[in-house]
Structure 1
């Protein structure tokens, strides 16, 4: 009979490698669907006094493949990255590209004038400028501080 030294850290290391493998591609956010995980475009929001600036990363998509709808409190983006069919005589192709439809709803922190939205799409980056509604720009809240009774 051979005695083998038990190392509990080895099992934790194996678990950590497994979890890292599951979540290794964290650079692109994912959404859960009935078919598994689908990738959605990464977003960046920047808010100023006058507008909300939304930047979306959409590499490999053409403007005609995107559908953007803006309500007063959210931005709805959907599109499809179509796969390219390539014929190769020899060899194996391994692809990490995601092909298919995606959809994302980004809630906004303030109401916007959805009729005055401007968009710029260049090099796979979509920039939306969402001007705030007048009520949001002029919203000032006065805070009253009461003196404690002596």
Structure 2
């Protein structure tokens, strides 16, 4: 058996299916670039960012922690319903330094919105919020019916 090297560019008509695949791949990449925020060092920048969230459920309440550094409390909007919480805001920060006659300016900005479905219904008019050191903490008490919900499982 002879060993023959393959040159895909030798016969141009063989390349047509590969061009279609390449075009499709470029279109998909552009789509994902538009939908997903770009990241740099673990922090979203560009058109927006997606803050990290941690959700914990206890017998009495649902606790939510959200990382939103670089914001002031007035820049954060929190809306709750009985089964979801929506957090949105806009980050604008600018840093200017000048050393030895060289000026440096850096800025970060971007809008974000995150809607988080809750694992149980809450008393949405009794939600407590605290914002400190870039962490938003929400304590959302469960409805009385959710606190005492027990499901009987029948075994066949």
TM-score range, shorter chain: 0.5 to 0.7
Aligned counterpart, 2:83: 73
More strand as a share of residues: 2
Task: Work out the CA distance in 1 between the residues paired with 2:133 and 2:81.
Answer: 26
Aligned 8 A contact 1:80 1:99 in 2? yes
Q: 2:59 aligns with which of 49, 54, 65?
A: 49
Aligned counterpart, 1:141: 151
Aligned counterpart, 1:107: 117
Task: Work out the CA distance in 2 between the residues paired with 1:56 and 1:127.
Answer: 7
Task: Work out the CA distance in 1 between the residues paired with 2:141 and 2:41.
Answer: 31
Flag the 1:64–1:101 CA change in 2: closer, same or farther, 3 A: same
Aligned 8 A contact 1:29 1:42 in 2? no
Count of matched residue pairs: 118
The alignment status of 1:120 with 2:130, answered yes or no, reads yes
Flag the 1:60–1:90 CA change in 2: closer, same or farther, 3 A: same
Flag the 1:136–1:60 CA change in 2: closer, same or farther, 3 A: same
Aligned 8 A contact 2:127 2:139 in 1? yes
Aligned 8 A contact 1:49 1:137 in 2? yes
More helix as a share of residues: 2
Q: CA deviation at 1:120?
A: 1.1
Q: CA deviation at 1:50?
A: 1.0
- Over the aligned positions, Cα root-mean-square deviation in angstroms equals 2.7
Flag as ranges the 4+ runs of structure 1 deviating above 6 A: none
Indicate the SS of the match to 1:145: coil
Indicate the SS of the match to 1:135: helix
Scaled by the length of structure 2, what TM-score is found? 0.64
Task: Work out the CA distance in 2 between the residues paired with 1:56 and 1:26.
Answer: 18
Aligned 8 A contact 1:61 1:81 in 2? yes
